[in-house]
Amino acid sequence: MRTRYIQRGAEVSEFSQIPIWRRMNKKDLIQIGFGLFVVFFVLSSYITAVLHLLPYDPLKINLKEMMQSPDYKHILGTDFMGRDILSRIIVGSQAYFMPGLLSIIIALFFGIMAGLVSGYNGGMTDSIISYILDIIDSIPKMVIILLAIAFFRPGIYFIMLIVGITNIPAVASLIKSKVIFLKKRNFIEAGKALGLKSRDIIFKHILWYNCKAIVIIQATLGMAEVILIETSLSYLGFGVQEPEPSWGNMVAAGKDYFFMGDFYLSTAPAIAILVSILGFYLLGDGLNNALEWRRKR
Amino acid sequence: MKYTILWKPILKLVLREFFIAILLLLGVSVLIFSILNLAPGDPLHIFINIQTQNPEEIAAIKRELGLDRSIAVQYLSWLNNLIHGNFGNSFRTGRPVFSELIKVGVNTLILTIGSLIVTLLIAIPIAVISSLRRCPFLSWGLTLFAYILSALPVFWLGYIAIYIFTKKFNLFPFLSAGAASGFRINWIYFLLPIIVLGIGNGSISEIIRHMRAQLERVLSEDYIKAAKAKGASIWRHSFKEGILIPVTAMIAAKIPFILGGAVVVEQVFNWPGMGRLAWQAALDRDYPVIMGITIFAAVVVHLGRLSQTIVFAFVNPQTSEKGEPA
Amino acid sequence: MAEEILKVEDLRTYFYSHAKEAFIRSVDGVSFSIRKGEVLGIVGESGCGKSITAQSILSLITDGPGIISGSILLTHNGKTVNLLEGLPDYVSVKTKRKAILEITKDVTGWLKRSEILMKGIRGKVISMIFQNPKSALNPFITVGDQIAESIMLHSSISAKKEAIDAAAKWLERVQIDSPAMRLYDYPFGLSGGMCQRVMIAMALSSEPALLIADEPTTGLDVTIQTKIIELLKQLKEELNLTILLITHDMSVIMQLADRIAVMYGGRIVEYGLKREIMDSSSFIRHPYTIALLNSQPTVEEIKMKERLRAIKGDVPDTITLYRGCRFYERCDLKNDRVKKKCKEAEPEMIEIGVGHYMRCWLAEG
C-alpha cells in the first residue's frame, strides 16, 4: 500500500477547487479584514443613527462645551460649536455612502453592458460605443463636476450620478478587453460548440467566472474615489452644507483653527477619510489577490 | 548601431491616432455645446441685472454675443473660428479667450506635469523594489506606505504642508505662484503645491500596483530567463517592456485624474490656475470660455495619449506596415 | 579517458506548494556525469523533471520557495567548483514530528550566493539554449545586438562594431543566409528554425565548455528539426563540444547522443552508453526504456495501421511519496519473482554492464 505523505489538498485545475480560505495567505486576510471592518463601520453609522444610538446629537450646539480636548465625555472632543466630533464623524459617512453606491451601480451596470456588447459583437457597434465612451473619457472628471455644479446646482445624488457616468468608460474598457481575451482564447467559441445558450455563456461564464475580479476592484476603487470626491467637494463648499456633517466640510471648518494650535478639529475627519479610503483599497486588493490565486502555483 | 526604425508605419500610426483624437475633440465640443445650451441658465444674466429689462436692449446684447442665431449656426461659427485659431471672446470681459486661457492654463499644466513627475519619482522605485522580492517585509511595508499616501485627502495634506512651512520657515501663509521677494521663497512657493499634489493625488497606489504587475509579468518571461542564462543583465532586457511602456501608459491614463486634483490644490494654495477661471465662467455661463477650457483639458489628455502611442511605436518593432501596433 | 566536465551528485530540486502544503519533488536524487567531448542525452516524458535538472545546474530556478540540494561539480581550466556550495545553508526547514512542514528561503542570501557562484559561468563556461526559440529571444532588441551582447560579455571584444562583425561571422557559421542583413532583424521576423540558429550562435559565441540544450527541437517543424540536429552534429565536430541534451524525442537522442540517461518521476532509471541501451538484443533493460522505444511506431506498423503502443497509465504526480518502485503501475515486465519487492522497496541503481546502470529489481539475479 502506498503511504500518503500529505493528506490535504486537492487537484488544482484552472478553476481551483481549493476553498478560498485555504488559498489566501496572511497578508490578504489582513487586508480583507481591515476593509470589511471599514465597511462595517460605515454601515453601522446608518444603524446607529436610525436607532438613536449616537453618543450625542451631531447637530446639537452646546456653546458651553466648545473646543474641548478629547476626554471621557467626548471621546474625540468637541468642535467650535460645541458639537461632539465623534458623532459627527460617524454620521459623516452617510454623506457619501448611499450616493456612492448609486455611482458604483451606474458605472458597473452600464459599463458592463457596454463592454459586453462592444467585445462580443465587435465591428461597427464597437466603434460607435468606443467613440462615445472615449469622448466622456477625454474630459477630466473634476472639470465636468465643477461645470455641472455651477450649472445645475445639484444635490449630492446628481453629482454622484455624473461621477458614475464618468466611470463607465473605464469599466467598459476593462470588460471589453476581457471579452476579447476570452474570444482570442476560443473560450467563447468552445462554449458555443458545446451548445451552451448565448445567455448562459455571457452571464455565467464570462461575467461570473472571469469578470468577478474586475467588478470587485472597480466597485471598491469606485467607493474610494467617491469618498475622495465627496469630501473634496464638501471641503470646497459645494457638497454637504453646514450644519450637516461631512468629513470634507469638517476639515474645511477646522482648518482655520490650525494656527491657533487646535489640530484635531481638522485631523480627526482627515484620518477618518484616510482610514476609509485605505480600507476600501485594501479590501479590493485583498479580494483581487484571493480570487486571482489560480494563476499562480 | 543602425536600427531598422520603420518610419513609415510609425508615421501612419501616429497620424491615425491624431485624426482619431481630432474626431474625439470634435465630439467633445459638440457634447459640451449641447449641454451648455440645454442647461438652465443664460449668459445674459450677467448683463440683465445690471441693465434694464428693455426688450430692445436685450435683443441688442443677444445680437452682439451672437446668441440670436440658431444653435447649429452658433456651433459652426465657433468651430470655424477655432480652425482659424480664434477661441472667441469671453462674454464677461470681452477679451480673447485664448489669452486668458494661456495664462492660467500654463500654470495648471505646470502643476499637473510637475506633480506627475513627483508621483512617478515615488512610485517607480517602490514598484521596482517590491517586485524584486528580496525582502518581503520591506516591499510589504513600502506598498502599505504607498497605500496610505494614496488615501490621504489632498486638501488636508496641503494645509498641513502650509502649516509646517509657515511655522518652520516663517513664511507668509498664503502663497501664490508669482509671489515676490527672494529666490528662496519663490522656489518653495512653487514647489510645495507640486509636491503636495504629487504625493496626495490618489493614484500612487494604482500606479504602483500596475507597474508591479507588469514588471513581475515581464520578469517571468522566457526571454528574461534566457538572458539570465547567458549572464546578461536582466534589467537591461526588461526595461523596455517592464518599465518604459507601463510608465508611459500610466502617464497617459492618469493625466485626467491629476488634472482634476490640480483644481482642488489650486484652491488650497491660491494657485492661479484654470480651476478658478472655470468656476467663474461656469457661473457666468460664459460659453466661449467654457468651451475653451474643456477643449484645452481634452487636448492635454489627448496629448498624453498620443505620446504614449509614439513611445509604444518606437519601442515595439512589430509596428507593422499597415501602421497597426502588433 | 576524457576528463569529467560536469559531475552531478544526488541533485534534488523540490518546490514547496502552499496550496497543497506539500513538496513537489521535481528532481528527486539525480546523479550523472559528462565527459569532455561527449553528448549526454536525458530523455523522458513531459513532467519527469528533465528541464528542471538543466535549470538547476545554472541556478535559473526562480519559483520559490523550495530547495536545491546535492552537489554539482564543474571542472574547468583545472579548477573544480561546486555550483551548489553553501546554498542549502540559506534555507531554513521547519519540521514537526519528523515531517517537514515548510521550507523558507533566506531569499537575499540565496540570491546573493547563487549570483556569486554563477558569475563567470553563465554564458561563458556553461551556455544554454531553450525550447521555443522565438520567445527566448528579446523581442525588442535586434538579433545582431543580442549576439553582440553575448560576445561583449564573455570575450575580450569590447567595441560594439567589432562585436557586431563577430556576430555576423557566427551567423554564417550557423548557416543563416545573408548574415549581414539578418543582424538587423528582430526576432518576430524570423522563423522558428532561424531563431534557434541565432540562439545556438549566441550560446556558442563564448566557446563554452558545456552546452545545455533544453528541448532544442521541440517547438519546431519536423523538417527543421532535422536541420538543427545536423547543425548541432556539425558544430560538435568542429568545436569539440560537450553537450547535455534534454528532450522527450527518442529520434533526436538516437542521432546525437553518446550516452543516455532515462528519467522517470524525477529520478534516473537507466544510464549507459547509447548503443547498449538502443540495442534491442541487449540482455536487460529497464521496462520504461523498453516501453519508450517500443512506443515509436515503425514504418511498417504505420502502413499496416496498427495500434500505437502507448504506455498505459499516467505520469506520476511528484508529490505523493511512493513506497515501492514508481513505475510499478505501468510496468509490463513485472513477474511474480520481483512483484513483491517492486511494491515494497524502491530499487537502487544496479550495475548491469560496464558503466551501464539500471534502477529495477529485474536486474538482480
pLDDT tens string C140-152: 888 999 999 999 9
Q: Can you name the CATH fold of A15-56+75-292? A: MetI-like fold (1.10.3720)
Which residue from C128, C135, C153 is facing B232, i.e. has the nearest CB?
C153
pLDDT of residue B36: 84
Please state whether beta strands C267-273 and C259-264 pair in parallel, antiparallel, or not at all (unpaired). Answer: antiparallel
Would you give the DSSP letter of residue B89? B
pLDDT of residue A297: 38
pLDDT of residue B167: 72
Mean pLDDT of C116-134: 88
**Predicted confidence band of residue C118 (pLDDT cuts 50, 70, 90):** confident
CA distance C131 to chain A (A): 21
| B:C CB pairs within 8 Å | 86
- Per residue in A52-94, pLDDT (tens digit) is 666 777 677 777 666 667 676 777 777 777 777 888 888 888 8
- The radius of gyration of chain A from alpha carbons, rounded to an integer in Å, stands at 24
Would you give the DSSP letter of residue B96? B
Task: Count CB-CB contacts under 10 A for residue A8.
Answer: 10
**Predicted confidence band of residue B52 (pLDDT cuts 50, 70, 90):** low
Which residue from B27, B155, B267 is facing A135, i.e. has the nearest CB?
B27
CB of A1 within 8 Å of any CB in chain C?
yes
* Sequence-distant (≥ 6) Cβ neighbours of residue A283 within 8 angstroms: A31, A32, A34, A35, A36, A38, A39, A220
Q: Do A22 and C19 touch (CB under 8 A)?
A: yes
**Predicted confidence band of residue B118 (pLDDT cuts 50, 70, 90):** very high
Q: Do B315 and C140 touch (CB under 8 A)?
A: yes
CA distance C230 to chain B (A): 23
Give the integer Cα–Cα distance in Å for C327 and C287: 9
Which residue from C139, C149, C203 is facing B232, i.e. has the nearest CB?
C149
ipTM, 2 decimals? 0.84
For B149, name the nearest residue in chain A, comparing CA atoms only: A274
For B241, name the nearest residue in chain C, comparing CA atoms only: C140
CB of C109 within 8 Å of any CB in chain A?
no
pLDDT of residue A65: 66
Higher pLDDT among residues C213 and C348, named by residue: C213
Give the integer Cα–Cα distance in Å for A79 and A85: 6
For C345, name the nearest residue in chain A, comparing CA atoms only: A2
Could you give the C-alpha distances from C76 to C4, C116, C155, in angstroms and in order?
9, 17, 16
Give the integer Cα–Cα distance in Å for A36 and A237: 30
- Per residue in C165-183, pLDDT (tens digit) is 999 999 999 988 888 888 8
For C64, name the nearest residue in chain B, comparing CA atoms only: B133
pLDDT of residue B2: 45
Of A15-29, B67-81, B262-276, C60-74, least confident by mean pLDDT is A15-29
Give the integer Cα–Cα distance in Å for C129 and C115: 20
Mean pLDDT of B73-79: 84
Which residue from C119, C122, C149 is facing B229, i.e. has the nearest CB?
C122
CA atoms B118, B119, B122, B124: torsion sign: negative
Q: Do C127 and B229 touch (CB under 8 A)?
A: yes
Q: Do B154 and A150 touch (CB under 8 A)?
A: no
Would you give the DSSP letter of residue A238? S
For A266, name the nearest residue in chain B, comparing CA atoms only: B156
Would you give the DSSP letter of residue A241? P
> Any long-range contacts for A10-19 (C-beta under 8 Å, 24+ apart)?
A12/A294, A12/A297, A12/C19, A12/C20, A14/A294, A15/A209, A15/A294, A16/A293, A16/A294, A16/C19, A18/C19
Q: Assess contact for C218 and C50: CB atoms under 8 A.
A: no
Cell of A63: 456653546
3-state secondary structure of C12: strand
* Sequence-distant (≥ 6) Cβ neighbours of residue A239 within 8 angstroms: A95, A156, A159, A230, A231, A233, A246, A248, A249
Give the integer Cα–Cα distance in Å for C214 and C230: 17
Give the integer Cα–Cα distance in Å for B212 and B209: 5
Higher pLDDT among residues C276 and B323, named by residue: C276
Q: Do C107 and B225 touch (CB under 8 A)?
A: no
pLDDT of residue B169: 66
Please classify residue A133 by burial: count the beta carbons closer than 10 Å to its beta carbon, then call 0-12 exposed, 13-18 middle and 19+ buried.
buried
CA distance B46 to chain A (A): 14
Mean pLDDT over all residues of chain B? 80
Q: Do A137 and B31 touch (CB under 8 A)?
A: no
For A21, name the nearest residue in chain C, comparing CA atoms only: C19
Which pLDDT tens digits describe chain A residue by residue (297 residues)?
Answer: 222 222 222 222 233 444 555 556 667 777 777 888 888 888 877 777 777 666 777 677 777 666 667 676 777 777 777 777 888 888 888 888 889 999 999 999 999 989 888 888 878 888 999 999 999 988 888 888 888 888 887 888 899 999 999 999 999 998 888 888 888 877 777 777 777 666 666 666 667 667 877 888 889 889 988 998 898 888 888 877 777 888 888 888 887 777 676 677 788 888 888 888 888 888 888 887 777 655 443
Which residue from C15, C20, C323 is facing A9, i.e. has the nearest CB?
C20
Q: Do A3 and C321 touch (CB under 8 A)?
A: yes
CB of A131 within 8 Å of any CB in chain B?
yes
* Sequence-distant (≥ 6) Cβ neighbours of residue A210 within 8 angstroms: A178, A182
For B157, name the nearest residue in chain A, comparing CA atoms only: A270
**Bridge partners of C214?**
C246
Give the integer Cα–Cα distance in Å for B216 and B159: 37
Which residue from A6, A22, A25 is facing C22, i.e. has the nearest CB?
A6
CA distance B308 to chain C (A): 17
pLDDT of residue A213: 78
Q: Which residues of B touch A225 (CB under 8 A)?
A: 202
Would you give the DSSP letter of residue A75? T
**Which of A1, A2, A7, A296 to mutate to test binding with chain C, by most C CBs within 10 Å of its CB?**
A2
Would you give the DSSP letter of residue C33? E
Q: Do B260 and A141 touch (CB under 8 A)?
A: yes
CB of A32 within 8 Å of any CB in chain B?
no
**Predicted confidence band of residue C92 (pLDDT cuts 50, 70, 90):** confident
CA distance A152 to chain B (A): 7
Q: Which residues of C touch A3 (CB under 8 A)?
A: 321, 323
pLDDT of residue A296: 47
- The radius of gyration of chain C from alpha carbons, rounded to an integer in Å, stands at 22
Query: What is the widest separation between alpha-carbon atoms in chain C?
Result: 70
- Per residue in A97-120, pLDDT (tens digit) is 889 999 999 999 999 989 888 888
Give the integer Cα–Cα distance in Å for A260 and A106: 44
CB of A163 within 8 Å of any CB in chain B?
no
Please classify residue B180 by burial: count the beta carbons closer than 10 Å to its beta carbon, then call 0-12 exposed, 13-18 middle and 19+ buried.
exposed
Checking if the pLDDT of B131 tops 60, the result is yes
Which residue from C121, C122, C135 is facing B223, i.e. has the nearest CB?
C135
Angle at C23 between CA C20 and CA C27, to 5 degrees: 140
Mean pLDDT over all residues of chain C? 83
Of A47-61, B191-205, C106-120, C160-174, least confident by mean pLDDT is A47-61
Q: Which residues of A touch B148 (CB under 8 A)?
A: 274, 278
* Sequence-distant (≥ 6) Cβ neighbours of residue C304 within 8 angstroms: none
CA distance C140 to chain B (A): 6
Residue with cell 510637475: B114
Q: Do B226 and C132 touch (CB under 8 A)?
A: no
3-state secondary structure of C104: strand
Of A277-291, B132-146, B224-238, C98-112, least confident by mean pLDDT is C98-112
For C322, name the nearest residue in chain A, comparing CA atoms only: A2
CB of C314 within 8 Å of any CB in chain A?
no
Of B302, B308, B319, give the one whose Cα is nearest residue B248: B308
A 18-47 → C contacts, CB under 8 A: 18, 22-23, 25
What is the reported pTM?
A: 0.82
Residue-range domain boundaries for chain A: 15-56+75-292
Return the partners of chain A (3 or more C-beta pairs < 8 Å): B, C
CB of C98 within 8 Å of any CB in chain A?
no
Backbone conformation region of residue C155, classed left if phi is above 0, alpha if psi is from -120 to 50, else beta? beta
CA atoms B34, B39, B44, B47: torsion sign: negative
